[in-house]
Amino acid sequence: MEVPSEVVRAPRSFRVSWAWLFPFLAIGATAWLFFNNWSSRGPEIEVSFREAPGIETGKTHLIYRGVQAGEVKDVRLDETLGKVIVKIQLKAFASDLAKEGTDFWIEQPVVSIRGISGLESLIQGNSIQARSGGETDRNQFEFRALDEAPLTPLDGPSLVIELKAETVPFISRGSPVFHRGTRVGWVRDKQLAEDGFPLVQVIIEEKYASTVKENTRFWILQAASVSVSPGQVHLNLPSISSLLDGGLAYDHFENAGASASSGQRFELSNNEIDARANGPRLIVEFQDAISMRVGETRVCYLGQPVGLVESIHARPGSGKVEATLRMISAMTPFINSLSQFRMVRPGVSWKGITGIETIVTGPYIAFFPVSGGEPATRFTAVTADQQREELLGSENGGLHIRLRGKELAMISSGAPVFFSGVPVGAVLAKEAKADGGAELLVGIRPGCESQVRKSSRFWRVPAMDVSAGPGLLEIKIEGLASLIQGGIAFDSFDVLGEEAAEGEVFELYPSRQLAAAVSPPVKIAFLQGQGLLEGKTQMRYLGVPVGVVDRVRVLPSKVEVEARFYKNFDFLRRTGSRFTVVRPKISLQGASGLESLVSGVYIACIPGGGNGFASEFVGLESADPNLLVQPGLEIRIIANETKISPGASVIYNGIVVGEVTDKKLSKDAKEIVLTAKIRNEYRQLVRANSQFWDSTGVVAKIGIFKVQVQAPTLVGPEGKVSFFTPEPEGAAAKSGTSFTLQEKPPKDLRK
């Protein structure tokens, strides 16, 4: 059964779904972000760069003091394609960067000798950096960027000054600037001024700006300097940075003036002495300007620098030079018409060595103030002749002589003259002669005139003398003065004659060896002159030097040597004397003459037994001088033709018993005569019937055949001679006996 029911409608109500809250929140957040971004934005600026490597829109940031102060919004080229325009959106807190004077640059990695910078850009990429230009109310929205990062990236330079000079070497951007040893700034830039001279812009830090005065003097700081004094060598190195980049320094040497202002221009001096020399300019006339250098040659008083050579001008009409000297202001009261100036160079007299310090410091101008004179600015320096006269004491006497020679180039005025190792005079002048030669005017000090005799012989003192021998190497330096100016020595070698007269003329020999060789000359003819040198090749007797080769001349088919002997060795000029050139020799029979590898080729002398003296001799070739002076049997070996030469060994049963000492043509020129010396202990082996043959060839046996092979290199280039005595033996051979040289061994020996 159906039960009747009634439908009752519920009352209607309005409800809001939570789903609608999220869109409203998103709209609010977006509005807030938009407002926050809009409120944090500063002005837009445009910066022009010469080039913009690594700069990208929306990625590259503007950094100020390490904080992101903006972002690149656009990068484009200008209409001329000559520069890059970068649009930067500044943040609100960085709005003050859009002011006049702000600097912008690109931070990128830089590697230089001063170090490595911008390493963070290797990871984060290049960025644009900014530096505030200081307090200003003038807005600016277009800027020109710096080409390089500034030296002071946080604050603008407080004091910028300019330095001008004729030349500025070794100074570059970043070079340090020192004041009394403290680093106070840097070189910002170096460029050319309007007149073409270098102009250096210098930044002085704010806390040191007050040290720069209007009368401040700037100079180039030497990267390193060396000073030498007795017992020490001092190296002054201001800093490693100044060694790499150079450096500048400044100071004021008078009462401090007013403080300098930015943009002020100063003169840049080459060194501290030049900077200090801000006093009067003086003109001094000199005989010459040898070793005088502008900006380097100092003026010294009591060893202390008081001025510098500022310029040098030649006066062709007078044959003089004028030097402009700039003195320090402190010397002004001491400069008058009686003041003296003189050039100081190394010099030697019997009183000692003067000016030796100039070897290290260089020649300088000595200043001698004298009171009582009138004010003056022009002077005539003490001449070199006046200085030499003072050194030599010529006003008190002395002796003047002249020396003539071929090799005078290394001897200069002031060179010392020695007697027995003691300086007794000096060279006064060097004069050219009409015949193309030269003369030296020499002054001998008073009291030493009697040492110079008419028989005296003068020679050049070498700056360095090297003596070498087995186990010995001696280097002898005669003196520092001789090393610089050359030197002269003299001796009479126990041949006392009359005292030399004023103006006497002497020959100047190249060496003591030639001067000491006082004998008349002898001429010796050799087939070849390898290793023979004029003035150097020694004449030796029993290994002792007894003379020297004076001259070597090349004649047709021979070399002629002219030699002289020392005192007491005239017996070597007697008739019958023999001379042989000793050179290094190595063969299968041994080595000889090896001492000449060190001391040089020499001529060995063997005295003759004649009563008279001769002036011409025929030299022996390659003979052993030890063999020639020993007793032995001298024989002659005659051949129609042979390649045997002096130095060839004489062999008996495989034993060397002698040597060929000479080779020449017979009187009728039809035969060749070899002279051989048999050692005394083997002389009994040579009999009247002995037979000699050329054994230079080597006999080789192949099967039943015998083959003779010519191999001179196995026995030496001189060859060798062999002999034997058949049975029955003849009488013992006498000196001078002649034998025939056979081409092959005798048949009796070949059986």
**pLDDT tens-digit series, residues 189-221:** 888 877 778 888 888 888 888 888 888 888 888
Task: Compute the residue count for the chain.
Answer: 751
pTM score of the predicted model = 0.45
Say if residues 673 and 638 touch (Cβ distance below 8 Å): yes
Q: Which domain holds residue 129?
A: 27-144
Angle at 652 between CA 543 and CA 623, to 5 degrees: 25
Residue at 512 is within a domain: no
Confidence at 119, pLDDT banded by 50, 70, 90: low
Q: Are residues 745 and 648 in the same domain?
A: yes
Which is more confident, 23 or 716? 23
Confidence at 472, pLDDT banded by 50, 70, 90: very low
Tell me whether the omega of the peptide bond preceding residue 728 falls within 30 degrees of 0, making it cis: yes
Q: What tokens appear for 751 in the block?
A: 């059986």
CB atoms within 10 A of CB 93: 12
Q: Are residues 370 and 433 in the same domain?
A: no
* Residue 47: per-residue pLDDT: 92
Q: Is 13 exposed, middle or buried (0-12, 13-18, 19+ CB in 10 A)?
A: exposed
Taking residues 683-687, report their average pLDDT: 93
DSSP class per residue in 290-343 = TT--TTT-EEEETTEEEEEEEEEEEETTTTEEEEEEEE-GGGGGG-STT-EEEE
- If DSSP codes are grouped into helix, strand and coil, which group holds residue 628? helix
Angle at 446 between CA 441 and CA 450, to 5 degrees: 85
- If DSSP codes are grouped into helix, strand and coil, which group holds residue 554? strand
CB atoms within 10 A of CB 172: 16
Q: Is the confidence at residue 685, as pLDDT, over 90?
A: yes
Q: Is the confidence at residue 473, as pLDDT, over 60?
A: no
Q: Is the confidence at residue 485, as pLDDT, over 60?
A: no
Residue at 421 is within a domain: yes
Q: What are the distances in angstroms from CA 20 to CA 28, 29, 32, 174, 283?
A: 13, 15, 19, 66, 103
User: Among 165-174, 183-192, 193-202, 584-593, where is mean pLDDT lowest?
Assistant: 584-593
* Residue 488: per-residue pLDDT: 86
Q: What are the distances in angstroms from CA 498 to CA 151, 376, 404, 417, 451?
A: 82, 53, 20, 20, 10
Confidence at 721, pLDDT banded by 50, 70, 90: very high
Q: What is the widest separation between alpha-carbon atoms in the chain? A: 191
* Residue 483: per-residue pLDDT: 47
CB atoms within 10 A of CB 423: 22
* Residue 244: per-residue pLDDT: 54
* Residue 712: per-residue pLDDT: 41
Q: Which DSSP helix (H) or strand (E) runs through 348? A: strand 347-349
Q: What is the pLDDT of residues 431-467, one digit of tens each?
A: 777 666 778 888 888 888 888 998 899 988 875 554 5
CA distance 263 to 260: 9
Mean pLDDT (the chain) is: 78
Q: Are residues 78 and 138 in the same domain?
A: yes
* Residue 627: per-residue pLDDT: 66
Q: Are residues 267 and 289 in the same domain?
A: no
* Residue 408: per-residue pLDDT: 67
Of 144, 178, 194, which residue constitutes the final position of a domain?
144
Taking residues 212-237, report their average pLDDT: 65
Residues 6+ apart with CB under 8 A from 273: 298, 305, 307, 308
CA distance 601 to 596: 5
Q: Are residues 211 and 136 in the same domain?
A: no
* Residue 87: per-residue pLDDT: 93
Q: Are residues 214 and 254 in the same domain?
A: yes
Q: What is the pLDDT of residues 535-551, one digit of tens each?
A: 889 899 888 899 999 89
Give the 3-state secondary structure of 35-92: HHHHHHEEEEEEEEECCCCCCCCCCCEEEECCEEEEEEEEEEECCCCCCEEEEEEEEH
Taking residues 598-619, report their average pLDDT: 85
Q: What tokens appear for 225 in the block?
A: 């300097």
Q: Which DSSP helix (H) or strand (E) runs through 273? A: helix 272-276
Q: What is the pLDDT of residues 552-581, one digit of tens each?
A: 999 888 899 999 999 889 899 998 888 988
* Residue 386: per-residue pLDDT: 62
CB atoms within 10 A of CB 139: 12
Confidence at 714, pLDDT banded by 50, 70, 90: very low
CA distance 158 to 260: 12
Q: Percent of the chain scored above 90 by pLDDT?
A: 13
Q: Is 287 exposed, middle or buried (0-12, 13-18, 19+ CB in 10 A)?
A: middle
Q: What tokens appear for 689 in the block?
A: 């019937």
Q: Which residues pair with 697 in a beta bridge?
A: 710
Residue at 690 is within a domain: yes
Confidence at 497, pLDDT banded by 50, 70, 90: confident
Buried b / exposed e over 95-131, threshold 16 CB at 10 Å, is ebbbbeebbbbbbeeeeeebeeebeebeeeebbbbbb
Residue at 650 is within a domain: yes
* Residue 558: per-residue pLDDT: 87
* Residue 548: per-residue pLDDT: 93
Q: What is the pLDDT of residues 374-426, one digit of tens each?
A: 888 899 888 756 655 555 554 456 788 998 877 665 677 777 888 887 778 88
* Residue 349: per-residue pLDDT: 47
**Domain total in the chain:** 6
Q: Is the confidence at residue 183, as pLDDT, over 70?
A: yes
Highest mean pLDDT: which range of 147-161, 585-599, 694-708? 147-161
Q: What are the distances in angstroms from CA 650 to CA 450, 688, 694, 716?
A: 59, 16, 10, 13
CA distance 330 to 304: 13
Residue at 456 is within a domain: yes
Q: Is the confidence at residue 288, as pLDDT, over 90?
A: no
- Nearest CA to 646 out of 745, 484, 526, 731 is that of 526
Residues 6+ apart with CB under 8 A from 442: 400, 401, 402, 403, 417, 425, 426, 427, 428, 488
- If DSSP codes are grouped into helix, strand and coil, which group holds residue 646? coil
Residue at 733 is within a domain: yes
Q: What is the pLDDT of residues 672-683, one digit of tens each?
A: 999 898 988 999
Q: Which DSSP helix (H) or strand (E) runs through 389? A: helix 384-392
Q: Is the confidence at residue 287, as pLDDT, over 90?
A: no
HSE at residue 134, side-chain half, CA atoms within 13 A, is 4
Q: Are residues 113 and 169 in the same domain?
A: no
CA distance 537 to 563: 9
- Nearest CA to 606 out of 629, 627, 582, 573 is that of 629
Residue at 150 is within a domain: no
Say if residues 211 and 184 touch (Cβ distance below 8 Å): yes
User: Among 3-7, 111-115, 282-286, 301-305, where is mean pLDDT lowest?
Assistant: 111-115
Residue at 691 is within a domain: yes
* Residue 75: per-residue pLDDT: 92
Q: Is the confidence at residue 230, as pLDDT, over 50?
A: no
CA distance 63 to 70: 7
Of 254, 274, 294, which residue constitutes the final position of a domain?
274
* Residue 358: per-residue pLDDT: 65
Q: Are residues 268 and 294 in the same domain?
A: no
Q: What tokens appear for 307 in the block?
A: 């001025």
* Residue 48: per-residue pLDDT: 93
User: Among 128-142, 180-194, 575-589, where is mean pLDDT lowest?
Assistant: 575-589
Instruction: Please identify which residue in the block is written with the tokens 């021979």.
Output: 558
Taking residues 168-182, report their average pLDDT: 81
HSE at residue 620, side-chain half, CA atoms within 13 A, is 27
* Residue 549: per-residue pLDDT: 92
Q: Is 347 exposed, middle or buried (0-12, 13-18, 19+ CB in 10 A)?
A: buried
Taking residues 276-297, report their average pLDDT: 84
Q: Is the confidence at residue 112, as pLDDT, over 80?
A: no
Q: Are residues 370 and 413 in the same domain?
A: no
CA distance 258 to 212: 9
* Residue 231: per-residue pLDDT: 47
Q: Are residues 703 and 715 in the same domain?
A: yes
Say if residues 263 and 161 touch (Cβ distance below 8 Å): yes
Highest mean pLDDT: which range of 342-351, 403-412, 709-718? 403-412
Give the 3-state secondary structure of 190-248: EEECCCCCEEEEEEECHHHHHHCECCCEEEEECCCEEEEECCEEEEECCCHHHHHHCEE
Q: Percent of the chain scored above 70 by pLDDT?
A: 75
Of 144, 178, 196, which residue constitutes the final position of a domain?
144
Say if residues 720 and 651 touch (Cβ distance below 8 Å): yes
* Residue 619: per-residue pLDDT: 85
Q: What are the distances in angstroms from CA 644 to CA 8, 47, 73, 593?
A: 160, 98, 102, 20
Q: Are residues 522 and 496 in the same domain?
A: no
* Residue 395: per-residue pLDDT: 42
| Residue 609 phi, psi dihedral angles, 5° rounding | -105, 10
Confidence at 138, pLDDT banded by 50, 70, 90: confident
Which pairing describes strands 115-117 and 110-112: parallel, antiparallel, or unpaired? antiparallel
Q: What tokens appear for 100 in the block?
A: 């006049």
- Nearest CA to 565 out of 578, 550, 583 is that of 550
Q: Are residues 374 and 298 in the same domain?
A: yes
Q: Is the confidence at residue 524, as pLDDT, over 90?
A: yes
